A and B are shown apart, each in its own frame.
Chain A
Amino acid sequence: MAGKKWTRREFLGFGTAFGLALVGCAPQPAGQTSGVAGGDQPRYGGVLTAWTGGDPPNYDLHQNSTYMVLWPLAPCYNLLVQFDPQDPNRVIPDLAERWEVTRDGKVYTFYLKRGVKFHHGKPFKAEDVKASFERIMRPPKGIVSPRQGAFAAVDGIETPNDYTVQFVLKRPNPSLLPNIAQGWNVIYPKDILDAKGDMKNDAVGTGPFKFKEHIRGVSIELVKNPEYHVSGRPYLDGIKYFIIPDPNTALSAFISGQLLMYRPRLKGDAEEAKRQLGDRIVIQTVQGYSFDTLNVNARRKPWDDPRVRLAVSLAIDRAAAIQVLAQGDAVIGGFMPAGGQWALPEEELKKLPGYRSNKAQEIEEAKRLLAEAGYPNGFKASMLTRKGADFEPISVFLKDQLAKIGIEASLDVLESAAAYDRLNKREFDLAPWGHAIALDDPDAVYGEFYLCDSVRNYSGICDPEVDALFEKQSQTMDVNERRRLVQDMERRAVQTQSKIILVWRLDRTIHWATVRNYRRHPSLYNNQRMEDVWLAQA
């Protein structure tokens, strides 16, 4: 028990120090720069302690899709271009100092930064960019590339000299830049790729931090790269990611000050930290990229009947979904991320069937549709449900909603591995699910979920009109014109009920106010490099 006293005293000393260092850091609404107290000079030194939920299975960013890989490895790398930490829709230089696009939109020329070195000493050149992206676009045998589809328009990559890279396209593709800027598509050193074939066991990049140590089940430690090519960066001496699977323990670790940065799943947890620590912490809330949805298998009867699918959509009270599934911490939306630059305006969305506020009337309509389809007394269906507190509630909620129009759903609860298997084999009637997208980009979102041959088109609904609109918008360079096409596509696609969207969740990162100059990107996978972050301390 003596130990506890000692630590408590130590902690009190800490707390006073924190208090002194603080300049008002109230929670900031999204869209404002937060975490930067006015007039403070960046300070060097300190180790950022951050949370992650599990061990990365391996270190190869190109081959993975979970944040558990991205967060601890992103600081070791650079991208060719990146999203502006201060403006989530803007792409700015990274390893490419500048770039040009030909008038026809078919050739992108990137001019690379000189004097950049990888952690193992090899100078960074155009060949590294070419090797990295060719690996993503055309993975050699034994390499999986989940983001391969995003580069379908690219015909080839040229390297006219050591510091110039050209992406030659088959057709214009305005989505190319945001796709290159995704946090996953880091630049790997060609020599290691050639020698080992993959980066599963290596973390060698050009980034501001070097990989030091990974103790499985415990932590991942990065240290400052003193030779980083951006002068004066990084500020931190290192970053230590603690692997904490239990959210209660993680929140306690944050409140105790052992973690400086945490991503709570619940608004309530962030508020609890605020209640405990007040101005000593900062909450950054963004409109996130994850959504809860109902996948309807149109390969099976009666779900092939659009009236039945529409009836289901009509039966679901989305306002209630926001409250029940996300405690009010979410918004309604279509297929494109709510609040993003491509989404349908909320007023228009609210007039679409299923989204309207007069729920009693919609339920009447739904019953009428079911009767027309030949099910006046409803029917039975099974719901494929993933085990776990993130997923079960969606099914419990939907079961209740469907009961209102006479559809009696039974929950078929499976743990993840089994549930994925069934989903991939399309063996389900209804599959309530939580999905996340990586990028607010029509090519990425529709390409992944909603085209006839999309890998994750779980419903099997194919509307040639949607595919045609997709092709058209994908080649439209003018942003406003493209937005108009995307919204046309969205209006049509949402009504096919390919997915019945329930809610788009807000997302948040909380950190101690001593962590400065961190800006949460709406995507979990962007702005995780921490190169500009510094720690204020007395």
Chain B
Amino acid sequence: MTQYVIRRLLMVIPVLFGVSVIVFAIMRIAPGDVATMILMGSGGEGGASAEAIAKLREQLGLNKPYHVQYAEFMLGLLRLDPGNSLWSGQPIRQELAQRLPITVEVALLAILVSWVIAIPTGILSAIRQDTWVDWIFRVVSIAGLAVPVFWMGTLVIMALTYCCRWIPPLGYTDPLRDPWRHFQQIVWPTLVLGFFLSAVVSRMTRSAMLEVLREDYIRTAWAKGLRERVIVIRHALKNALLPVITLSSIQLGNLMGGAVITETIFTIPGVGRYLVDAIFHRDYPVVQTIVIMLAVIFVFLNLVVDLVYGWLDPRIRYT
């Protein structure tokens, strides 16, 4: 077990190395560069002469050989100081320190919301398979999946605007300073995301539950005359949660960088928006830092999930 964890941790190194090289290469292959973007403005308002672009490129250090750029960046990252954004000149670490907690909060709450909705409905759907309970739960939960997030977000904002002439307070409020205001800002994106995620989780819970309920040990439990509730919760649920946890870990990882749409619509200053803007601006160090950071989060999340597997299903052994 310990050996397994150590080996997994060692394997993190080549994965992260691969990720860093790939993202470095991708950003350099992509046409356009940050110097042009700075000079022309994010809306393309300005003009830029070839000399001005060349001058700025040199100033930003973009003329250095690629291996030097890569080495400098990675050395900085190893010291946990990825340097400054090329676009804004601001320290990346400072900006991430501000944005990451927000993103993590929204993501965890969204996962929580999805579980609250999905696990009970998924279980009920499974044990009442092919009854109207099953059908209604499935129709509702799949409806949540079927509506694109940006469309649902827009509809929520529009509905609030037209019903109440109200939308969540603009800006972002520190939860410690004003929890109520913070709650108002965070609740809608969390609900939208949670509802969206719940569809897949609910389906997974249902099918995993169905699977488990046909297992021999459950039949044994029935034969022993245990009550349904005990069988479902004590015996079946634990194993049925395996795929659900896999799924949620994947979702959680995706939300770290991928919640950009809800962040845009609900003006949440999270990591996703930062990353997407950086990609569009060709802000190389920012993109590299965030992608590598997400990779780290992913790798550890996966490790944790694998360990949880072992805990939930003793049949799986680590070799």
**A144 and B56 contacting across the interface, CB-CB below 8 Å:** yes
> What's the dominant secondary structure at chain A's contact region?
mixed
Q: A242-B267, A249-B167 are in contact. Are A386 and B89 (CB under 8 A)?
A: no
Q: A216-B90, A455-B48 are in contact. Are A7 and B164 (CB under 8 A)?
A: yes
Q: Which of A196-254 contact B (CB under 8 A)?
A: 200-201, 215-219, 242-246, 248-249, 252-253
B93 within 8 A of A: no
A4 within 8 A of B: yes
Q: A252-B160, A421-B36 are in contact. Are A216 and B98 (CB under 8 A)?
A: yes
A28 within 8 A of B: no
**B161 and A255 contacting across the interface, CB-CB below 8 Å:** yes
**A424 and B98 contacting across the interface, CB-CB below 8 Å:** no
Docked CA distance A253–B158 (Å): 10
**B49 and A455 contacting across the interface, CB-CB below 8 Å:** yes
* In the complex, chain B residues whose CB is within 8 Å of the CB of A419: 32
Most buried by B among A252, A386, A414, A436: A252
A221 CB → nearest B CB, Å: 10
CB nearest neighbor in A for B183 = A3
- Which of A50-58, A173-181, A361-369 lies at the binding interface? A50-58
Q: How many residues of B are counted as interface, with CB atoms below 8 angstroms from the partner's CB atoms?
A: 59
**A420 and B37 contacting across the interface, CB-CB below 8 Å:** yes
**A448 and B38 contacting across the interface, CB-CB below 8 Å:** no
Q: A246-B265, A252-B167 are in contact. Are A55 and B31 (CB under 8 A)?
A: no
**A217 and B269 contacting across the interface, CB-CB below 8 Å:** yes
**A417 and B273 contacting across the interface, CB-CB below 8 Å:** no
**A253 and B167 contacting across the interface, CB-CB below 8 Å:** yes
A82 within 8 A of B: no
Name the contact of A217 in the complex, choosing from B49, B52, B164, B273 (C-beta under 8 A). Answer: B273
Q: A7-B164, A8-B166, A417-B282 are in contact. Are A66 and B47 (CB under 8 A)?
A: no
Name the contact of B170 in the complex, choosing from A58, A219, A255 (C-beta under 8 A). Answer: A219
A146 within 8 A of B: yes
* In the complex, chain B residues whose CB is within 8 Å of the CB of A357: none
CB nearest neighbor in B for A242 = B170
CB nearest neighbor in A for B48 = A424
B85 CB → nearest A CB, Å: 9
Docked CA distance A484–B161 (Å): 52
A386 CB → nearest B CB, Å: 7
A456 within 8 A of B: yes
* In the complex, chain A residues whose CB is within 8 Å of the CB of B50: 424
Docked CA distance A521–B45 (Å): 18
**A252 and B44 contacting across the interface, CB-CB below 8 Å:** no
* In the complex, chain B residues whose CB is within 8 Å of the CB of A242: 170-171, 267
Binding site for B on A (CB under 8 A): 3-4, 7-8, 11, 15, 49, 54-55, 57-58, 64-68, 141-142, 144, 146, 200-201, 215-219, 242-246, 248-249, 252-253, 255-259, 276, 386, 414-422, 424, 433-434, 436, 448, 455-456
List 28 A–B pairs whose Cβ atoms lie within 8 Å, in order of A's numbering. Answer: A3-B180, A3-B183, A8-B164, A8-B165, A11-B165, A54-B277, A55-B88, A58-B88, A58-B89, A64-B46, A146-B39, A146-B46, A146-B48, A218-B171, A219-B170, A246-B264, A246-B267, A249-B167, A249-B267, A253-B167, A253-B170, A255-B161, A255-B165, A256-B167, A416-B280, A417-B32, A417-B282, A422-B31
